[in-house]
Amino acid sequence: MVLLFPLIDSEKIYKLPHIVISFLQLLHIFYCTIVNFIFNVYLFLSKKEKLPKIKNDLLLIPATKCAQMIRDKEITSYELVKAYIDRQKEVNPFINAVVLERYEDALKDAKSIDEYLEKIKPYTKEYYKIVDEKPLLGVPFTLKNSIKCEEFPPIAGIVCRNHNETKADIMCKGVERLKNAGGILLASTNVPELCMWIETNNKVWGRTNNPYDTRRSPGGSSGGEGAIISAGGSLFGVGSDIAGSIRIPACHCGIFGYKNTPKSIDVRGHLPEPDEKIMNMVAQAPMARYACDLKLISKIYMSEEERVSLRMDEEVDINSLNFYYIEDFSFMEAQPMTKDCLQGVHSVVKMLEDFNKVPVNLYFDEFKYSNVLWQATLQYYTDDQVTGASGYMNNFSKTKVPFLQEALKNMFCLQSNHDLGVMLWLYEFENLRFLNPQLKKKYLDMRDKLMKKINDILGDNGILIVPAYPTVAPPHNHQLFLRMDKSYTEIFNVLGLPVITCPIFLNSSGIPVCVQIAAGKNQDRLLFSFAEVIEKKFGGWREPK
């Protein structure tokens, strides 16, 4: 069905006679089974490279604890930064996540911090000033390459930008706040070309691998961040998300990924640069190995006005919350839900039942239109210029990048400066999935009704638990054939709800299984508290072995 849907209106398919729908479902399952069989043969025949085990215990301490230990002079910032540099050098040959680095400068920054702290006596006025104003003092972090900062050019996997050392015009304010809070930027991480695909591969730096299984994808577009954080090479980083670009890598790499309520955090300072309208779909927020770090890092990343707007300092009583869950979107675009991913949701539901909370099982028929709702919303917020940002791929030359021609070059192993997945995505959405005004209006009306319905249910004290993805991390290139699996994440960009991806367990192949937890608009604070509960119950991130 993933081949059929671009050609036919989704709603018309679901209005066909029941026997026809059943037949199409069988065809869809058969197609998915064939694709998965072929890729399972590939996994069987290919060799998995094992990452070196983490030997330095400093790499296993949460960021908040590291900052406290540095302030209390139990460890030095230099030791911590050096440990993370060494780990990045150790694992990057396996996963290819780090693409630019500033190791020497980071060590100098750390040494300066240690020298400054030598003069500070514990528990004095100046000590507590550091706690308040520089809560991350001496702690290293990483950054998605598409996010603009002073230290690294935003190349975003685009060949024609590879040697463009021009500084970004608009710096990301959130990254500046992290640095002002004492964080030390170590490295910039890989992305798909222009962040336009759900696997991380480009013609500048190549492919990023999943730390749990190098034959598998770390997801995209924040795949470099997901991989290096999960591999123990970074404590936390920053990603961006328009269809799942934070949450898919967080899911595939077994870490925590936060997508904020749209417009609650300033997303300027990104390539491509978002305009006012598209900000209603885009998020820019932290990814972290430990849930106990996520709230503090997010608060620092926000402006004071943004923190107040989201009521981030309010205490959350978990016992006062209402819980809901969805098992499956039950539709024919993504592949069928695997038992592992369904078990992830059931595990969280069982945990809540053990706490004498009874989650309500919900079903929204509109969720099966997730992809077309996302398409309609994207067209609406871009004034139908869904591929306009592709101009970055050739420095906005008058000659447009020929998406289909470049895709065919990749298929026939000919020279191309562009990635196959990105070219197919752009061609499909410009030519096959483009909605006429009547269809667009129909799906926007459907979106608005769903938005009201789900916000009325969640209110200001509800949390929704859903699968993070229909499968665990797929093999490389698998998503070229099953491109609609992102339906499980992109629906929340459509609805404008805050979401956190949380790891639950490793399956029998040692690959992370995760869930998404969502709340009503501007109720982000509820998710941080519940993510910590989930981490304590299930153990959170686990070292790739």
DSSP for 336-348? PPPHHHHHHHHHH
Q: Which of 146, 222, 230, 245 is catalytic?
A: 245
Distance of alpha carbon 499 from the chain centroid:
10
Structural domain count of the chain: 1
Nearest CA among 262, 218, 247, 181 for reference residue 493: 262
- pLDDT score of 332: 79
Distance of alpha carbon 68 from the chain centroid:
28
pLDDT tens string for the chain (545 positions)? 555 555 567 778 888 899 998 999 999 999 999 999 999 999 999 999 999 999 999 999 999 999 999 999 999 999 999 999 999 999 999 999 999 999 999 999 999 999 999 999 999 999 999 999 999 999 999 999 999 999 999 999 999 999 765 666 789 999 999 999 999 999 999 999 999 999 999 999 999 999 999 999 999 999 999 999 999 999 999 999 999 999 999 999 999 999 999 999 999 999 999 999 999 999 999 999 999 999 999 999 999 999 999 999 999 999 999 999 999 986 778 999 999 999 999 999 999 999 999 999 999 999 999 999 999 999 999 998 878 888 999 988 888 899 999 999 999 999 999 999 999 999 998 888 899 999 999 999 999 999 999 999 999 999 999 999 999 999 999 999 998 999 999 999 999 999 999 999 999 999 999 999 999 999 999 999 999 999 999 999 999 98
Nearest CA among 434, 378, 374, 372 for reference residue 403: 434
Distance of alpha carbon 434 from the chain centroid:
25
Q: Is residue 227 part of a domain?
A: yes
CATH of the domain at 187: 3.90.1300.10
Q: Is residue 383 part of a domain?
A: no
Segment holding 467, helix H or strand E? strand 462-467
Q: Is 215 helix (H, G, I), strand (E, B) or coil?
A: coil
Query: What is the phi/psi pair of residue 273, to 5°?
Result: -75, 120
Decide if 491 contacts 228 (C-beta within 8 A): no
DSSP at 367: G
Q: Within the chain, what is the greatest distance between any pair of CA atoms?
A: 77
Decide if 487 contacts 331 (C-beta within 8 A): yes
Nearest CA among 218, 209, 249, 201 for reference residue 50: 209
Distance CA 343, CA 347 (A): 6
Nearest CA among 499, 512, 498, 507 for reference residue 541: 512
Judge whether 144 counts as a catalytic residue. yes
Q: Is residue 406 part of a domain?
A: no
Distance CA 334, CA 406 (A): 26
Q: Is residue 16 part of a domain?
A: no
Q: Is 49 helix (H, G, I), strand (E, B) or coil?
A: coil
Residue matched to tokens 């065809």: 27
Q: Is residue 473 part of a domain?
A: yes
Judged by phi (left if over 0) then psi (alpha if -120 to 50, else beta), residue 263 lies in left
Decide if 184 contacts 107 (C-beta within 8 A): no
Domain residues for the domain of 109 are 62-308+316-370+441-538
Distance CA 77, CA 130 (A): 14
The dihedral formed by the CA atoms of 472, 186, 301 and 225, expressed in degrees to the nearest 10: -10
The dihedral formed by the CA atoms of 328, 329, 334 and 339, expressed in degrees to the nearest 10: 0
- In DSSP terms, which residues pair with 141 in a beta bridge? 185
Judge whether 509 counts as a catalytic residue. no
Q: Euclidean distance between the first and final Cα of the chain, in Å?
A: 36
Query: Amino acid letter at 264?
Result: S
Q: Is residue 379 part of a domain?
A: no
Distance CA 254, CA 272 (A): 27
Q: Which of 134, 144, 263, 521 is catalytic?
A: 144
Stated length of the chain: 545
Judge whether 217 counts as a catalytic residue. no
- pLDDT score of 545: 86
- pLDDT score of 29: 93
Q: Is residue 400 part of a domain?
A: no
Q: Is residue 18 part of a domain?
A: no
- pLDDT score of 431: 87
Q: Which of 77, 146, 217, 221 is catalytic?
A: 221
Nearest CA among 463, 459, 528, 475 for reference residue 307: 528
Residues whose CB is less than 8 angstroms from the CB of residue 334 and which lie 6 or more positions away in sequence, other chains included? 470, 482, 484, 485, 486, 487, 488
